[in-house]
Amino acid sequence: MVRVCLIICVWFFLPIKSYASELELQLQKNSIEWGQVISARLLAFDTDADLADIDLTPLYEDFAVKLGDLSSGSPKGKMQKLDLDLFPRRTGNLMLPSVTLGDLHSAAQTITVSDALEQGSALVVDLKVSAEQVWQRQQALATVEIKSPERFFNVEIEPFNAHGIEVRPFVLAREPIDGDARYRSRIQLGWAIFPLLGGDFQLELPMIRYLQGGRVKRRFYLPRLNLKVQELPAYIPPNMPVAKVAVESSIANEGLLHTGDIAYWDITLRANGTLTYWLPPVLHGVQSTDAIEFLPAKSTPKLQIDARD
């Protein structure tokens, strides 16, 4: 009889899980290389707030966040779970700030992000922005250079769309590197950005997939681009280029012209940092007269982006 009483006493003193109100962010690990992902889980205990409504914007400065499964524990309302994938936007000791659900707050944490390594050398992923303050319709260039110790690699980027912005992607270089002990090839790519509206923009540049042998080895999420756009004065026509325009003119003909001869007049408009449809329509001003007749002309627009140093 005494033994039975002792067993009962021990049972009642075993710890029991308490569902006190709490918001917890659990990390699979707290150190990774850039281009890798950290799996995380948000746990909400004993709250009437819906975990699906949580505001994750504090995380977006240094991390791209992909939402996973959302589920509730038992009994209903006692525990909710939300799975997350976190992709760092840069290297260094990154702060994972507190997030809030109702009156609950998670604890801030630090994640260490080191360089992406291939064959013992760090991959270089270097983002450069030509200007962060521009006029409306003025070009801003975001250029990324990727240098790899691998001789053969490739990248994939997704389409870049943003409200109030016109974008032209480009690839400047895809070439081997000779005479460098660490790097054997590089790719230089980017986006020509033309803001159509004034205001402050925070742009999410597309994710870059790094491929080796046709397999995605890393996914690089770039820092967000903060662009301040000064609105043009109202008296500026909507089709006027915000760039320096140069006109080149030449007549392709040998010797003097005589009545009835045909000559070819080449007119070239060049402008740095604008789209072709914003160039002035010079052909509208070319009209036939009694002394000279202009035959129908062909205009060929060509966009060439030069972002080299």
Residue 262 sits in the same domain as residue 226: no
Residue 64 sits in the same domain as residue 37: yes
Residue 188 sits in the same domain as residue 284: no
Domain harbouring 155, CATH code? 2.60.40.680
CB atoms within 10 A of CB 47: 19
CA angle 104, 109, 112 (to 5 degrees): 155
Q: Is 29 domain-assigned?
A: yes
For residues 193 and 201, is the Cβ–Cβ distance under 8 A? no
The residue out of 198, 230, 262 marking a domain boundary is 230
The residue out of 71, 99, 114 marking a domain boundary is 114
* Domain tally, the chain: 3
Residue 157 sits in the same domain as residue 195: yes
Residue 105 sits in the same domain as residue 131: no
Residue 307 is predicted with a pLDDT of 59
Residue 189 is predicted with a pLDDT of 93
Distance (Å, whole) CA 260 – CA 9? 118
Residue 88: Cβ-neighbour burial (10 angstroms; 0-12, 13-18, 19+): buried
Q: Is 5 domain-assigned?
A: no
Q: Is 6 domain-assigned?
A: no
Q: Is 190 domain-assigned?
A: yes
Domain harbouring 29, CATH code? 2.60.40
Residue 36 sits in the same domain as residue 57: yes
Q: In what order do the strands lie in the sheet with 133-135?
A: 133-135, 225-230, 199-203
The residue out of 190, 211, 230 marking a domain boundary is 230
Residue 150 sits in the same domain as residue 252: no
DSSP state of 46: S
Residue 295 is predicted with a pLDDT of 82
Which residues are within 8 A (CB) of 145 and not within 5 positions of it... i.e. 6 or more apart?
A: 124, 125, 126, 128, 186, 187, 188
Residue 195 is predicted with a pLDDT of 94
Q: Is 267 domain-assigned?
A: yes
Distance (Å, whole) CA 87 – CA 264? 57
Residue 125 sits in the same domain as residue 40: no
Per-residue pLDDT tens, the chain, 309 aa: give them.
444 443 333 333 233 344 556 899 999 999 999 999 999 999 998 888 899 999 999 999 999 999 999 887 655 558 899 999 999 999 999 999 999 998 899 999 999 999 999 888 889 999 999 999 999 999 999 999 999 988 889 999 989 989 999 999 988 788 888 878 788 899 999 999 999 999 999 999 999 999 988 899 999 999 999 999 999 998 888 878 888 888 888 887 777 777 888 888 888 888 788 887 777 777 777 888 888 888 877 777 777 666 554
Q: Are strands 109-114 and 31-33 parallel, antiparallel or unpaired?
A: parallel
Q: Is 100 domain-assigned?
A: yes
Residue 258 sits in the same domain as residue 218: no
Residue 125 sits in the same domain as residue 107: no
Domain that includes residue 65, residue range: 18-114
Residue 216 sits in the same domain as residue 267: no
Q: Is 309 domain-assigned?
A: no
Q: Is 153 domain-assigned?
A: yes
For residues 114 and 35, is the Cβ–Cβ distance under 8 A? no
Residue 189 sits in the same domain as residue 259: no
Residue 76 is predicted with a pLDDT of 52
